[in-house]
Amino acid sequence: MIRYIKLQNYRSFTDLTIDFMSKNGFPLKFVVLYGENGSGKSNLINMFETLYDTTQTMSIRNMLMHLLEENQEPDHITDLASLKQYMDITRIIRANKTIGSIDNMIMEIGFQLEGKNGIYYIEFDNDQIIKEQLEFTIEKNKGIYYQIDKKRIKINNKIFGDYREEYISSLRKFWGKHSALAILFNAKDEFSDSYFSDTVNPYLLSVLKYIQSICVYMADNNSMRGIINTMDTLSPEMYTDGEISVSDECKIDHTEQMLNKFFQSTYRDIKKVFYKKSYTNTTLSYELYFTRFISGKERSVSFVNESCGTRNLIYLLPYCIAVSNNHVVAIDEIDNGIHDILLLNLVKALYQNINGQLLITTHNTMLLNEYEFKDSFFFIEIDENGKRRINTPSDFGYRIQPESNVVVNYLHDRFKGLPWRDMDVDFHYIAENNQ
Please answer whether residues 289 and 276 qualify as being in contact, where contact means their C-beta atoms are separated by less than 8 angstroms.
Answer: yes
Cα 49 to Cα 10, 16, 225, 423: the distances in Å are 13, 18, 10, 34
CA 346 – CA 125 distance, rounded (Å): 42
Cα 114 to Cα 144, 203, 354, 369: the distances in Å are 18, 10, 16, 32
Instruction: Give the distance from CA 18 to its chain's centroid.
Output: 16
Please answer whether residues 30 and 362 qualify as being in contact, where contact means their C-beta atoms are separated by less than 8 angstroms.
Answer: no
What integer pLDDT is reported at residue 238 of this predicted model? 79
For 184, the enclosing helix (H) or strand (E) is helix 180-190
The two most distant CA atoms of the chain are separated, in Å, by 74
CA 196 – CA 341 distance, rounded (Å): 48
Q: What is the DSSP letter of 14?
A: S
What integer pLDDT is reported at residue 291 of this predicted model? 94
CA 304 – CA 62 distance, rounded (Å): 36
Q: What is the pLDDT along the chain (435 residues), one digit of tens a residue?
A: 999 999 999 999 999 999 999 988 899 999 999 999 889 999 999 999 999 999 999 988 777 776 666 665 544 444 455 555 556 899 999 999 999 999 999 999 999 998 999 999 999 999 999 999 999 998 888 899 999 999 999 999 999 988 999 999 999 999 999 999 999 999 988 888 888 889 999 999 999 999 989 999 987 655 567 788 766 667 777 788 999 999 999 999 989 988 988 888 888 888 899 999 999 989 999 999 999 988 888 999 999 898 888 888 888 888 988 898 899 999 999 998 888 888 888 899 899 999 999 999 999 988 988 888 988 999 999 888 888 999 888 877 666 565 566 666 666 676 766 655 555 656 445 445 555
Q: What is the DSSP letter of 337?
A: T
What integer pLDDT is reported at residue 427 of this predicted model? 47
Helix/strand/coil percentages in the chain, nearest 5: 40, 30, 30
C-alpha atoms less than 13 angstroms from C-alpha of 258 in its C-beta half-sphere: 17
CA 234 – CA 217 distance, rounded (Å): 17
| Paired strand residues for 330 | 216, 359
Q: Which contacts qualify for 370-375: CB closer than 8 Å, 24 or more apart?
A: 370/344, 371/400, 371/401, 371/402, 372/348, 373/30, 373/32, 374/400, 374/406, 375/22, 375/23, 375/28
Angle at 224 between CA 223 and CA 226, to 5 degrees: 155
- Phi and psi (nearest 5°) for 242? 165, -165
What integer pLDDT is reported at residue 227 of this predicted model? 81
What integer pLDDT is reported at residue 216 of this predicted model? 93
Q: Which domains does the chain have, with CATH numbers?
A: 1-230+325-435 (3.40.50), 231-323 (no CATH)
What integer pLDDT is reported at residue 430 of this predicted model? 44
CA 296 – CA 422 distance, rounded (Å): 49
What integer pLDDT is reported at residue 293 of this predicted model? 86
What integer pLDDT is reported at residue 210 of this predicted model? 94
CA 19 – CA 289 distance, rounded (Å): 43
Please answer whether residues 41 and 67 qualify as being in contact, where contact means their C-beta atoms are separated by less than 8 angstroms.
Answer: no
Beta strand extents in 357-404 (DSSP E only) = 357-361, 377-382, 388-391
Please answer whether residues 224 and 218 qualify as being in contact, where contact means their C-beta atoms are separated by less than 8 angstroms.
Answer: yes
Measured from the Cβ of residue 348, the count of other Cβ atoms closer than 10 Å reads 13
Angle at 335 between CA 331 and CA 340, to 5 degrees: 145
